[in-house]
Amino acid sequence: MTSKPHSPLRLLTLCAALMACGAAQAQLKVEISGVGGSQIPVAIAPFASEGVAPQSISAIVKADLARSGYFKLIPADSPMAETASIDYGAWKGRGADALAAGSVQHLANGQYDVRYKLFDTIRSSQLSSLGSEVPENGVRLAGHKIADDIYQKLTGTRGAFATRIAYVAKSFDGKYRLEVADADGENIQVAIRSNEPIISPSWSPDGTRVAYVSFEAKKPVVYVQNLITGKRTIVANERGNNSAPSWSPDGSRLSVSLSRDGHYQVYVVNADGSGLHRVSSSSGIDTEGHFSADGQSLYFTSDRSGGPQIYKMSAYGGGAKRVTFTGSYNISPRLSPDGKWLAYISQRDGKFQLYIQDLASGQETRLSDSINDESPSFSANSKFLMYAINAGRRTLGVVSVDGRVKYRITMQAGDIREPTWGPFM
C-alpha cells in the first residue's frame, strides 16, 4: 500500500507537573482566517483589578471566543466587576446580546480569586456565574474555563478551550520534542525530548497519559507516558514495527498496528502492555485502528480492496465492513467523541486533504483547502478538528466540522506535526 510518512502508521496538578518537565522556548502563533455563519454578539468587559494577575483574564476569554469564530466581540473598554449594576438597555443598544464582567483579587496566601458573571441583555437577567481560587500557574486555565462557560451558555454546546493539545515539534537541529500546550497553543510544556523521531501521540481519555511511538531504540516502539509522574511504560515492542496507538474510550486498552507477522495488522493491548491480541485478519496491510465512541468497534485503514480504504469491524475481531467508497486513497480514520463523525485524509486530484463523513447519512464533506494534510484529531466537544499541514514546514490547522471556521497555529522555530487534541478534564 502506497502511504504517506508514518501512515502505516487534575487540570492544575497536571499543568504544574508538566512545568517540571521544562517549558519550550518557541512560541506558537494563531492566525484566524474564517468565522462562523451567524455570530453571537457578546461584550467581555476588562475584569476589575485583573492587572494583579500574571495574565489578563478578559484577554484570554476574548481570544478564545474570537478564535472559535462563533462570537462577535462588542467593544467594552472600561473595567467592570461582576458585582456592578448592569444597564441592560445601554448594552443592548451597543449591540450586545450578552455581557461578561468579573474581578481578580490577589490573596494573602498567594492564590488568585477569580470571579465572573454572564448577563443576558435581551432578557435583562443573569445567565451564569463562576468563582474559584487558583495558583499563579492556574490563571490561564481560569480564563479558559470562563470562556467554556460562556460558549456553553450561549451556544448550548460544551466549550473545549480548557482542554490541552499534544504534538511533535521538530527543531531546525533535527531534534524532536513531544509537547503539550493549551488548546490555544500557549503554555507549552515538554513531555519528552529525543534525538530520534517521535510519532503518533494519542491522549488517554482521562487526560493524564499520552501514548506515542518513539524510535529511540532504533526501531518504532509504543510507549505510554504518565504526564504527572513522567513514568513510561512500554506497551508494544514486538518483532518488526510497532505503531499507531489509539485509546479505547474507557482508557483500559489501546489499538496498535504491528508487523510482527510480516505485514501490518491491527492488535488490541491492555494499557499496561499485557493481553496483546490480534483483531484484524487480511493478507494485506491493516493499520491505524481507532475505537468508536462506544468502544465496541474499530475503524481502520486497509488495502484489502486494492487501495487504502477505511473499514469498520468489532473491537474484538471478526468481519470488516468498508466505510469509504469515494476516492481511491483514504487513510487516518478518526472518530468524533460524540460518535457522529468520521474524519480522514483522502487523496484526490493529487492532493491529500481532510474530509469528514456523517456516519448516519454517509455524506462526506471536504474541510481543508491545503494540499498535504495529515493526522486529524477532534476536539473534545466534537465541534472542531485539528490536523497537520505539510507545506515544507509543518503547521497545525483547525477547522470546524461545518467548515466555516478555520485557523492555523504555527511555530516560530521549527515545525509541528502529529497533533492530538486532549479530552475534557
| Same domain assignment for residues 231 and 377 | yes
Predicted pLDDT at 169: 93
- Please state, in angstroms and rounded to a whole number, the distance separating the CA atoms of residues 302 and 265: 9
Does the structure show a pLDDT above 70 at 73?
A: yes
* Domain annotation covers residue 193: yes
pTM of the predicted protein model: 0.90
* Domain annotation covers residue 2: no
| Same domain assignment for residues 244 and 366 | yes
* Domain annotation covers residue 188: yes
Confidence of residue 17 (pLDDT cuts 50, 70, 90): very low
Q: How many CB atoms lie within 10 A of CB 190?
A: 17
Q: How many CB atoms lie within 10 A of CB 419?
A: 23
| Same domain assignment for residues 82 and 169 | no
Give the three cell numbers for residue 72: 462577535
Handedness of CA 322, 324, 328, 330 (dihedral sign): negative
Q: Based on the number of CB atoms within 10 Å of its own CB, is 173 exposed (0-12), middle (13-18) or buried (19 or more)? A: exposed
| Same domain assignment for residues 193 and 135 | no
Predicted pLDDT at 18: 34
Which tens digit of pLDDT belongs to each residue from 268-324? 999 999 999 999 999 899 999 999 999 999 999 999 999 999 999 999 999 999 999
| Same domain assignment for residues 200 and 151 | no
| Same domain assignment for residues 221 and 97 | no
| Same domain assignment for residues 226 and 285 | yes
Give the three cell numbers for residue 83: 458585582
| Same domain assignment for residues 182 and 312 | yes
DSSP result, 326-348? SSS-EEEEEE-TTS-EEEEEEEE
CATH of the domain at 70: 3.40.50.10070
Predicted pLDDT at 394: 81
* Domain annotation covers residue 53: yes
Tell me which residue range forms the domain holding 45: 40-155
* Domain annotation covers residue 3: no
- Please state, in angstroms and rounded to a whole number, the distance separating the CA atoms of residues 307 and 318: 21
* Domain annotation covers residue 1: no
| Same domain assignment for residues 121 and 150 | yes
Which tens digit of pLDDT belongs to each residue from 345-361? 999 999 999 999 999 99
Which tens digit of pLDDT belongs to each residue from 138-185? 999 999 999 999 999 999 999 999 999 999 999 888 899 999 999 998
Which tens digit of pLDDT belongs to each residue from 278-293? 999 998 999 999 999 9
| Same domain assignment for residues 141 and 78 | yes
Predicted pLDDT at 15: 35
Which tens digit of pLDDT belongs to each residue from 78-94? 999 999 999 999 999 99
DSSP result, 174-189? S-EEEEEEETTS-S-E
Q: Name the domain boundary from 155, 178, 195.
A: 155
Mean pLDDT to the nearest integer, 23-52: 76
| Same domain assignment for residues 170 and 309 | yes
Q: How many CB atoms lie within 10 A of CB 109?
A: 7
Position 402: which residue type?
D
User: Could you say which DSSP state residue 43 is in?
Assistant: E
Position 158: which residue type?
R
Q: Name the domain boundary from 155, 172, 198.
A: 155
Mean pLDDT to the nearest integer, 261-269: 94
CATH of the domain at 293: 2.120.10.30
Higher pLDDT: 1 or 223? It is: 223
**Tally of domains in the chain:** 2
Does the structure show a pLDDT above 70 at 228?
A: yes
* Domain annotation covers residue 4: no
* Domain annotation covers residue 412: yes
Q: Which helix (H) or strand (E) holds 12?
A: helix 11-19
Predicted pLDDT at 213: 98
| Same domain assignment for residues 271 and 355 | yes
